[in-house]
Every structure is written in structure tokens, then in C-alpha cells.
Amino acid sequence: MTSPIHNPDRTADVLIVGAGASGAAVAASLSEAGFDVVCIEQGHWQDSFKYPTIEPDYELRAMSSWSINPNKRRLPEDYPVNVDDSAIEPVMFNGVGGSTILWAAHTPRLHPSDFRVKTLDGVAEDWPISYEDLEPWYDLNDQVMGCAGIAGDPANPPRSERPMPPIPIGRDGEMLAGAFDRLGWHWWPSDNYVNSTRYGEGRDACNFCGHNMMGCYQRAKSSTDLNYWPRAIDQGTELVTGARVREITTDLAGSATGVSYLDPGGNDRHRAARAVVVAANGIGTPRLLLLSNSEKHPNGLANSSGLVGKNLMFHVYAGVTGIFPDNEDRWVGPAANMILSQEFYETDPGRGFVRGYSYQTGRGQGPGATARGGSRRVPWGADHHVQMQRRFGNTVSLGIIGDDLPEEHNSVTLDEYLTDGSGLPAPKITYRVSDNSRAILDHALVQGQKVLEEAGASEIMINPHSREAGWHLMGTARMGDDPERSVVDRNGQSHDIDNLFIVDGSVFVTGGAVNPTPTIQAIALRTADYITRERKDLKTR
Amino acid sequence: MTLDIDTGLLAAALDRIIPPVDDLPGAGAMGLAEEVIARSRADFRFSDALDTVVNALPSPNAFTALDGEGQDGAIRALESSHPDDFNLWLDVVYTIYYMQPAVHRRMNWHGRSPQPEGNVMPPWDESVLGVTRQREPFWRKA
Ligand SMILES: Cc1cc2nc3c(=O)[nH]c(=O)nc-3n(C[C@H](O)[C@H](O)[C@H](O)COP(=O)(O)OP(=O)(O)OC[C@H]3O[C@@H](n4cnc5c(N)ncnc54)[C@H](O)[C@@H]3O)c2cc1C
Ligand code: SF4
């Protein structure tokens, strides 16, 4: 899909950096409201019919050119990330659709309590907005992205009818659900942005191929190149691909004037705009703000609080995997999206930690990935075939996603030496797992084993900490009412620069214990609505 | 680099990594050494790991002169001296082995790539919610 011809010398109303989950939602919303929108994206469009799951070597490609880890994928549009001082490695995709190209599309919502952790539990900060503020935007996003699920989950506030019935949980899901039921613990079918029926233009139902995290050939898994982007482009948004923004430019008064970027030929260009919306994700956004330093902004743009890049949250991940040796081909179906349990989501002082965690259930994998084993490889040598036979097709996992409270020392800074293919400083991550997070995971590992035992696992493997699991990038330009304690206000508008907005996971104040993307997109839609209603001054059409 | 890999040495090591089973020869005797070298060339992380592993093994003559236990000992020694490279190499070897149609046949697995055929979506059975639906809402008001 290409954008219609636009005049590159015009001053656009709004320029968006990044065409991922949040950038797409803002582009569609603002262009539908009549703004002249341009988006600059360093990556490219993907052709779903060329995703590697159609090739016999798909499992090898997942380790290399289709890795979720940009340091392994190393495509020209990727930037390297220094992770030497990080306990977790960030993963992402750079292209139209952003990380939704590779995501699992498991789409729970934050709980009302996640917005009030200071008030309720005396930790971190409260958000300046509430669950109720976001609810209409969650609902709208569920419709556009296409949510399969079923209302009635007792662990969450009532929510509107889901647009599609749930993804069937299958035999493995039923086995775990039975175990949760017998333990008297909560479970509910996951909300997923995966089609359980045909939904959206040109998008088929999931055919249970089992490989969400390599792009979806069926277009059953929702990604923003399939829904928000076609709408945005229909409404006149100009999308420039293969172009890397290197700086947000400002005038003498300190207002944003547009961006400087490197075009696909490596030439330095400038695009003028009346407002800039940054949607480059929780690492790309602070990186760009820090890159945009100048005499007037020596610590980077929008950084009078000093909090740009600070308070990085990933969610901590661990898991337990059970072996169920009755060979029922457990690896079919979307990877991580059967059921979830939020029995231990809320704070219980008796447990020795604040906040909590969710369990997500995961199916087994293809033979190569089974042999590689994630945290526990199948051994090489004499025992190899016996162990492989025990595991392949016979595993079911509980993934643990733990709340990861913000700490200022967990951060994104600019690396002194490492650069991307354009010569721009790469981000450096500094991150350690806190004692509270560790206590959360330890509790969850013990309880998770009970579930697998109850379900009849013959053997249980424990992964105490997942390193390559930084899928959720949050907190590095957080929102708040106090300009000294936050980077943007409740509408995503920079406290320092009134025509600069941030709409990705950077603005999260806390992360909860659920995948963040429905919340990221709800925030993006809410900010777009604010601009539409309150910033008509930016509109020229 | 992966320029001067001795395929005989690599094949001998592969046979210890994934030994014969049923009517299948080991990974080396199956002829996977060439494929491991060729596919490693496509990604410098893979080829660096392969180079490290092969260079850290005893010389081809010394390795093949060892009996099975001796060869396993040499591989274990390199596994502990170069764990990162060894594990990456092992992952590449495993993945290539499990791409082989003969291996799929032995495992009695269809061996198709995931798409375009996929699998069959089972029906959604709402009765599974029977117990969990009885639970009173317990989310924390804020
Ligand atoms: C493997 C994987 C599995 C995941 N599973 C889930 C899941 O099940 N559920 C869930 O909720 N979330 C999941 N996520 C996370 C989810 O994908 C992200 O939360 C979401 O995509 C973030 O949206 P975003 O708009 O902030 O950033 P992204 O979607 O990452 O998009 C940012 C875009 O900005 C572009 N960009 C960055 N810097 C520049 C620059 N300087 N110039 C030009 N362009 C730039 C990038 O190329 C990219 O396309 C997963 C992520 C991964 C990688
Ligand atoms: S399991 Fe379904 S949603 Fe996932 S990639 Fe396969 S067809 Fe797409």
C-alpha cells in the first residue's frame, strides 16, 4: 500500500514519528477528524504472504532475520540496543505496524487499581487518569483491531460485548481450566486481537497454525498495517517509510517545528509540522527525545523533569512448563492466548510483596523450538531422542507476567559508542529486577507448579526468569499532573512544549500485570481525541 | 568466517550431538555438516559460533581417534569453556536437524510448514465456563 502523492514542502498539521500500534491509531483518528497528517517510519510495509511461516526453514529464520530481538535480526531499519547492563533484553519490530507485526496479540486491560497504586498500596505514583477515562477508548480499539473474547470475567470490571467469540481454548486450555477450577482459582478465556471468525477487510479466521510471533499469513492476527493504516491512508495520511527521524526540531520559542530525518537514500531532510506526536515505543521515544538535545535543551527535549528515559518498565516474566505425555499435538493454536488467571493480581500483604501477577497459558512449539527448549534445552547425546519424544507436542506452559514497579535507575540513555546504521547513538538499557519483582515471580512459580500438578503434568520445568522478554516497553516519559514528576500531562501533551505529544508506552506511570497494547492504543486514541477537540489551532484544512 | 571447516570433524561431532536412532543415522552421517556450514554463512553470529566450536575441538585426527566417551568428553569440555558459542551452535544444529523430512517421518509428524494449511480450529464450547462463571466479581475498586 502506498500513500497518495503529497507535497513534501508543505507544513503538515501533525507529524507522527513511528507507524506502530500507537502511531497508527493516532494517524487514523486525526486524519478522520480532518487534520493533515504525515507519519515517518524507519521500517517498511510487510507482505503477509511472504511471512516465513510458509517456508520449511521458518524455525531457523526465527533465530535470525525474523528474530523478535533487533540485536539478532539486524535489518537496516533496526537499531542496536546495548543490553550489557540489563537483566531483560527488549524485543520489538520496526516497520509499518511496528511490534504488532510480531506480537502475540493477547489483549487484556489494566485493572482500575493499576491506576491508583500510590493511593491503594503506597508505592510508585498514581496515574492522572483512571480506568473509566480510558474505557470508551478501549472499547473503540477493540472494535477496530478486532477482539475475540467473552464478557463476564469476574476479575475485571464488566466490559462490552466482544466483537467476536473467543478463540476456542482447546483440549490443553480445558485441561488447565479444570485445574484452576479444582483449586478454586480464577481463570477466563483470554481476550485476543486474533480473528475467531472472519473480521475486518481481507482478514481470515485463525487457522491455528501456532506461530503468531512471526507474522500472520492468514491476517487473522490483528496488526495495525491491516486496519488503522488503510483507514488513515484512505483519509489522506501521508506515510513515509524507510526514513529514520534523527531529531525533533524546535524554534527559538522552544516550540516543535517538525523533524529532521534521513530519507531512504540516506539524505538529510526536514519535514515541517505544527505539532509532533512521538509514537516510537518506550525505547525509541526517549532515545529520540535525548537525541534532540540542543543548546536550549541540553538534556534532551521535553526533559525539564529529568525523567525522559527514566523509570523503564518491562514486566518481569518467568514460567513453568508441564509435560503431559499423551501426545495430543499441543502446539497447535495461537501461541500465548488460551486462558488467563488473575487469582493473584491484587496486593495481599500476607504474600510479602505489593501488587501481583497474571498467568498466561502457552501452547507447545514446533520441533526446532522444542529442542532448543527456551530455558531448558533438550540434552544432546545419548539421551536426546528419548527426551525429545517426551517433550514434543506434550508441553503446556504457564507464563507469569509480574507487575514491574517503576524505579528511576532503570533507564534508557544514549550509548557513548554504539550507533545504528545511520550513525546515530543507540540506546543503552540499564535495568535490574527489583526485590519486589523477584518475590512476585517466586510466589508465582510455586503456585504455578500447583496448577500443573493438578492438571496431571508428569514433569514440571521451571524458568525462573526470562531474559529475552522485554516485549513491553513502558514508563520512560510518564504522564502526570506535576511537571517536576512527569514528562507529559494527562492528555499526552509535553509539559515543556505545548505542540509535542507522546502516545506510546513511554507515558505509562505503572505497568500493571497485563500486556500493555490495548492500553497504549486507548491512550493514543484519547490523545487524538483531545487534539481534535482542544487543539483546533493546529488544523488548517 | 567459516572458511576452512573440516566437514569430517564436524560430522563426527554432529553424530555425538544427535546420535542414530531407529533407522536414522546420526546427524553427521545424515550429511548435515555441509548444511550446517552453508546455513551458518547466512548469519555471522551463527558462523562465529561454528568457527569457535570447531576450533575448540581437538584436531580431526585426534577427535576421530577417540572412542565415543572420549568424544563426548571433548564436546563437554568445549561446552563449559565456550558456553555461549556452544549453545548457539547447538541451537542451529538442532533446528537444522528438525527441518529434515526424514526426521519428521521418524517422529511420525506431518512436517509441514505452519502455513498455508494450518490446522483445524476446534469448536468453542461455552460450557467450560460453568465453574468460573459462578465466581462473584472480585476486582479491586479504585
Ligand atoms: C514478540 C512480541 C510479542 C508481543 N506480544 C504482545 C501481546 O501479546 N500483547 C500485547 O499487548 N503486547 C505485546 N507485545 C508488545 C506490543 O507489540 C507493543 O506494546 C506495541 O506494539 C507498542 O506500540 P508502540 O506504538 O508503542 O510501538 P511499536 O509498535 O513498537 O512501534 C514503534 C514504531 O516506531 C518506529 N520508530 C522508532 N524510532 C523511529 C525513528 N527514530 N524514526 C522513524 N521511526 C521510528 C519503529 O520502527 C516502529 O515501527 C509484543 C511485542 C513483541 C515484540
Ligand atoms: S495461530 Fe492463528 S493468529 Fe497466530 S499466526 Fe497462526 S493463523 Fe495467525
Backbone angles phi, psi at A512, to 5 degrees: 60, -165
pLDDT tens over chain A, length 541 residues = 656 678 989 999 999 999 999 999 999 999 999 999 999 999 999 999 999 999 999 999 999 999 999 999 999 999 999 999 999 999 999 999 999 999 999 999 999 999 999 999 999 999 999 999 999 999 999 999 999 999 999 999 999 999 999 999 988 899 999 999 999 999 999 999 999 999 999 999 999 998 878 999 999 999 999 999 999 999 999 999 999 999 999 999 999 999 999 998 899 999 999 999 999 999 999 999 999 999 889 999 999 999 999 999 999 999 999 999 876 666 678 876 789 999 999 999 999 999 999 999 988 889 999 999 977 899 999 999 999 999 998 999 999 999 999 999 999 999 999 999 999 999 999 999 999 999 999 999 999 999 999 999 999 999 999 999 999 999 999 999 999 999 999 999 999 999 999 999 999 999 999 999 999 999 999 999 999 999 999 988 7
Q: Tell which of A60, A190, A341, A509 to mutate to test the B interface (max B CBs under 10 Å).
A: A60
Give the Cα separation of A18 and A15 in Å (integer): 10
Please report, as a single letter, which amino acid is at residue A311: N
> Would you say residue A6 lies in a domain?
no
The ligand 2 atom at the shortest distance from the C-alpha of residue A195 is 3
Ligand 1 probe mutation, A225, A478, A517, A523, most atoms within 8 A of CB: A517
Residue A320 and residue A447 in contact, taking contact as beta carbons nearer than 8 Å: no
Are A29 and A107 a contacting pair, CB within 8 Å?
no
Ligand 1 pocket check: which of A26, A38, A100 to mutate, most ligand atoms within 8 Å of Cβ? A100
Amino acid at A69: N
Q: Locate the DSSP E strands across A163-218.
A: 188-189
CB A475 within 8 A of CB A509: yes
pLDDT, one tens digit for every residue, chain B (142 residues): 555 899 999 999 999 999 999 999 999 999 999 999 999 999 999 999 999 999 999 999 999 999 999 999 999 999 999 999 999 999 999 999 999 999 999 999 999 999 999 999 989 999 999 999 999 999 999 9
> Of B101, B102, B90, B108, which is closest to residue B25 (Cα–Cα)?
B102
Residue numbers of the domain that contains A249: 11-538
Cβ atoms A494, A488 nearer than 8 A: yes
Q: Are A21 and A517 in contact (CB under 8 A)?
A: yes
Cα–Cα distance for residue pair A475/A507, rounded to 1 Å: 6
Residues 6+ apart with CB under 8 A from B21: A385, B106
Asked whether A25 lines ligand 1 (CB < 6 A), one says no
The per-residue pLDDT for B3 is: 56
**CB-based contact (8 Å) between A119 and chain B?**
yes
Ligand located closest to A516 CA: 1
Residues 6+ apart with CB under 8 A from A414: A287, A290, A291, A425, A426, A427, A428
Q: Which ligand is nearest to the CA of A336?
A: 1
Cβ neighbors of A46 (< 8 A, separation 6 or more) are A95, A96, A97, A101, A215, A225
Question: Would residue A1 count as lying in a domain?
Answer: no
Question: Distance (Å) from the C-alpha of residue A217 to the closest C-alpha of chain B?
Answer: 7
Query: What is the structure's pLDDT at A363?
Result: 86
Q: How far apart are the first and last CA of chain B?
A: 59
Cell of A39: 507519519
- Which residue out of A48, A68, A194 has the highest number of ligand 2 atoms within 8 Å of its CB and is therefore the one to mutate? A194
| Nearest residue in chain B measured CA to CA from A126 | B142
Whole-number pLDDT of residue A330: 63
Contacts of A380 in chain B (CB under 8 A): 16-18, 75, 90
* A89 Cα to chain B: minimum distance (Å): 16
What the block records as the C-alpha cell of A379 is 540434552
CA dihedral A207, A211, A213, A218 (to 10 degrees): -30
In total, chain A counts a number of residues equal to: 541
Nearest to A398, CA basis, from A455, A321, A450: A321
**CATH code, domain with A365:** 3.50.50.60
At A392 the three-state DSSP class reads coil
**Domain extent listing, chain B:** 7-112
Calpha distance A441→A422 (Å, rounded): 39
pLDDT for res A328: 65
- Phi, psi at residue A216, to the nearest 5°? -110, 115
Q: What is the DSSP letter of A352?
A: S
Would you say residue A4 lies in a domain? no
Integer Cα distance of A93 and A100 in angstroms: 8
A374 part of contact set with chain B, CB < 8 Å: no
A393: in domain: yes
Q: Where are the alpha helices (DSSP H) in A84-227?
A: 117-121, 131-145, 170-183
Q: Report the gap between the CA of B4 and the closest CA in chain A (Å).
A: 23
How many domains is chain A built from?
A: 1
How high is the pLDDT of residue A71? Answer: 98
Task: Work out the minimum CA distance from B125 to partner chain A, whole angstroms.
Answer: 7
Q: What is the dihedral of CA B11, B17, B22, B28, to 10 degrees?
A: -10
Closest in B21, B91, B99 to A56, CB measured: B99
- Residues A48-80, buried b or exposed e (16+ Cβ, 10 A)? beebbbbbebbbbbbbbebbbbbbbbbeebbbe
Q: Strand (E) positions, A196-240?
A: 238-240
Residues of B in contact with A367 (CB under 8 A): 98, 103-104, 107, 109
* Residue-level pLDDT at A332: 78
Grid cell locating A168: 476456542
User: Domain for residue A311, yes or no?
Assistant: yes
Q: Does A115 touch chain B (CB under 8 A)?
A: yes
* Closest ligand by atom to A97 CA: 1
The amino acid at residue B59 is S
Q: Look at B114 and A210 and tell me if their CB atoms are within 8 Å.
A: yes
Looking at residue A195, its pLDDT comes to 96
Which H, E and C letters describe A470-505, residue by residue?
A: ECCCECCCCECCCCCCCCECCCCEECCCCCEEECCH
The alpha carbon of A283 and the centre of ligand 1 are apart by a number of angstroms equal to 10
Closest chain A residue to B36, measured at CA: A60
Nearest-angstrom CA–CA distance, A440 and A355: 8
**Interface residue A379 vs chain B (CB under 8 A):** no
Nearest CA to ligand 2 atom 6: A209
User: Within 13 Å, how many C-alpha atoms sit on residue B5's CB side?
Assistant: 23
ipTM: 0.96
Handedness of CA B82, A370, A102, A107 (dihedral sign): negative
pTM across the whole model = 0.97
